[in-house]
Chains A and B, each alone.
Chain A
Amino acid sequence: SYELTQPPSVSVSPGQTASITCYGDKLGDTYPCWFQQKAGQSPVLVMYEDNTRPSGIPERFSGSNSGNTATLTISGTQSMDEADYYCQAWDSSTVVFGGGTKLTVL
């Protein structure tokens, strides 16, 4: 079955750039999306079709995808960005989520 691999945790200082990666076989062909989930809340879409931001998502969020790796980048990270982040892709008609990355801003 198809798998997406994310680092369990990423740490960043306030104001710096955070990069969260998602690895999957030929992921560059699948147009993944990204979700942010803060503690006790439902997931929120922050990026889709590789690098498109939904309305209301700050410009500091950006995405890229090439080869086997998709990356969610947060520029000028703020304390409010501290959350779990999940990548997601489709494999035929099945949805696959990455294991999630806990972003700590310290």
Chain B
Amino acid sequence: QVQLLQSGAEVKKPGASVKVSCKASGYTFTNYDLNWVRQASGQGLEWMGWMNPNSGNTGYAQKFQGRVTITRNTSISTAYMELTSLKSEDTAVYYCARGNSGYYSKWFDPWGQGTLVTVSS
């Protein structure tokens, strides 16, 4: 079955960087976009950006431009999200989600299990 398996929880100090991985299985990795979404505790969902694993093309939410980089290693069907200059406000669960395209729109399914990133001094 289609699965996205993310790396484990991270604790980082302010100003550091974090890199979260998302390993895809059960489908051809390069055939579907990969998106990253985060959720602070008790808050809503916030989209960060997307990547086309085939071309490597990316797009980022304006809020994260310059701080986030999404990359991939197609040989191991894994995508990565790196966030730099971490602040306490970046403490959140980070999700990867596969993008699916239809005739009219795109949607996210499935989602990874989430990776908790804690930023604390």
Contact of A96 among B47, B59, B105, B114 (CB under 8 A): B47
Are B47 and A94 in contact, CB atoms less than 8 angstroms apart?
yes
Are A88 and B46 in contact, CB atoms less than 8 angstroms apart?
no
Give the interface residue-count category, chain B: 20 to 34
Are B114 and A48 in contact, CB atoms less than 8 angstroms apart?
no
Are B105 and A48 in contact, CB atoms less than 8 angstroms apart?
yes
Are B44 and A42 in contact, CB atoms less than 8 angstroms apart?
no
In terms of DSSP, what is the predominant structure of the interface of chain B?
strand
Contact (A48, B59) CB under 8 Å given A33-B107, A42-B112, A54-B109: no
Number of contacts between A and B (CB, 8 Å)? 69
**Number of chain A residues close to chain B: CB under 8 A:** 25
Asked if B27 lies at the interface with its beta carbon under 8 angstroms from chain A, I say no
Contact of A90 among B46, B95, B106 (CB under 8 A): B106
- Contact mask A24-38 → B, CB, 8 Å, 1/0? 000000111101000
Are B106 and A100 in contact, CB atoms less than 8 angstroms apart?
no
Are B47 and A95 in contact, CB atoms less than 8 angstroms apart?
yes
Q: Which residues of A contact B113 (CB under 8 A)?
A: 42
Asked if A97 lies at the interface with its beta carbon under 8 angstroms from chain B, I say yes
A interface residues with partner B (beta carbon < 8 Å) = 1, 30-33, 35, 42-45, 48-49, 52, 54, 86, 88, 90, 93-100
Rank and list the top 9 A-B pairs by shortest CB-CB distance, nearest first.
A95-B47, A31-B105, A48-B107, A45-B109, A42-B111, A31-B104, A33-B107, A97-B45, A100-B44
Task: Jot down 7 A-B pairs with beta carbons below 8 A, ordered by A.
Answer: A42-B110, A44-B110, A45-B108, A86-B44, A94-B61, A95-B35, A97-B45
